[in-house]
Amino acid sequence: MSDECELIVLRYDTPSLERLRSNSFGYVSANGRPLVDLLDPQPGERVLDLGCGTGVMTAEIALRGAEVLGIDGSPAMIEKALAQHPGIDFIVGDGHDFTVVQAYDAVFSNAALHWMSRDPGTVIANVREALAPGGRFVAEMGGAGNCAELTAAMLTAWREYGLREPDLPWYFPTPAEYAQRLEREGFVVRLLEYFDRTTPLDECPGGAADWVRMYAASVLDGLPPDIVDPLLRRVNELAAPALRRESGWMADYVRLRFAAVRR
Ligand code: BEZ
């Protein structure tokens, strides 16, 4: 690991990630490998992994011979990444607010851009600035309709309990919307896919309730403590017909996957 890091971090403020992403993200790595194939990192290429979490995909990219830097808004994630992948560079940084000293050949991102919801245009603009002309932006994120059954169950339960509609912390764009943003920020879109990926919630044996606690903990902040268990039990009841199978709970994930090139 080099002593000097090339990324200048101006600010990081991704509290949802901080809280939520220290759990098992096995699904991310299992489903992330084809995305690394799409990136097709070449030996010696400089790659930035944006929203790297604990660095599983970063390590996969490094294995293919690229020089990779992982950045993530969560100091806890970066601490784990550094411990788990000695020899790879990781640093705390937020997609909304970073610059690099030397341009990268590619920016990669898996299951992270939907968490950078405050200003997606700024995130894309920062990625563009981090890339050399002709550099690739290859990513997968939640697309429109992602977690629709899960969030519908939440909204209904919140309403039934007389609570204000929760502020959901994600950005799930339509393919058209995201392609437009990419083009507006100076990218040529080479590939854009939009597909369902119903995913076993292996890390959530308590179903939708566990999922809310794990991935949407911010919506529970400030609720009277005694309401949380019954509220989440109700989320489970509402979500079960769509998402509970004999084999266990499923998440109704919808993916947006793209490869774009900096003009
Ligand atoms: C996702 O990967 O699509 C996702 C995971 C947790 C919460 C929201 C979305």
The pLDDT of residue 232 is above 90? yes
At 223 the pLDDT is 97
* Smallest CA separation from ligand 1 atom 2, residue: 111
Residues making up the chain, counted from first to last = 263
Give per-residue pLDDT as tens, 178-230: 999 999 999 999 999 999 999 999 999 999 999 999 999 999 999 999 999 99
Which of 16, 115, 154, 170 for mutating ligand 1's site (highest number of atoms within 8 Å of CB)?
Answer: 170
- Inform me whether the pLDDT recorded for 2 exceeds 50: no
Give the pLDDT mean for 7-16. Answer: 39
The residues lining ligand 1, judged by C-beta closer than 6 Å to any ligand atom, are: 111, 114, 142, 146-147, 170, 215, 253
CA atoms within 13 A on the CB side of 194: 12
> In this model, does residue 3 exceed pLDDT 80?
no
Measured by CA distance, the residue closest to atom 3 of ligand 1 is 142
Strand partners, 106: 47, 136
pLDDT at position 169: 96
Tell me the best of 215, 243, 254 to mutate to test the pocket of ligand 1, counting ligand atoms within 8 Å of each CB and taking the most: 215
Query: How far is 81 from 168, CA to CA, in rounded Å?
Result: 27
Whether the per-residue pLDDT at 37 is higher than 60: the answer is yes
Q: Whose CA is nearest to atom 6 of ligand 1?
A: 215
Per-residue pLDDT, 220: 98
Return mean pLDDT, the chain. Answer: 91
Give the span between the Cα atoms of 67 and 48, in whole angstroms. Answer: 9
Tokens representing 230 are 């019954």
Q: Which residues is 250 bridged to in the sheet?
A: 200
CA of 183 to the centre of ligand 1 (A): 25
pLDDT value at 30 more than 70: no
Ligand 1 center from residue 17 Cα (angstroms): 11
Q: What is the mean pLDDT of residues 35-54?
A: 98
- What pLDDT score does 7 carry? 52
Give the pLDDT score at 214. Answer: 96
Residue 33 pLDDT: 87
Tens of pLDDT along 83-109?
Answer: 999 999 999 999 999 999 999 999 999
The protein residue with its alpha carbon nearest to ligand 1, atom 1, reads: 142
Instruction: With beta carbons less than 8 A apart as the criterion, state whether 261 and 38 touch.
Output: no
pLDDT for the residue numbered 32: 81
**C-alpha 21 to ligand 1 mean position (Å):** 10
Q: What is the mean pLDDT of residues 61-71?
A: 97
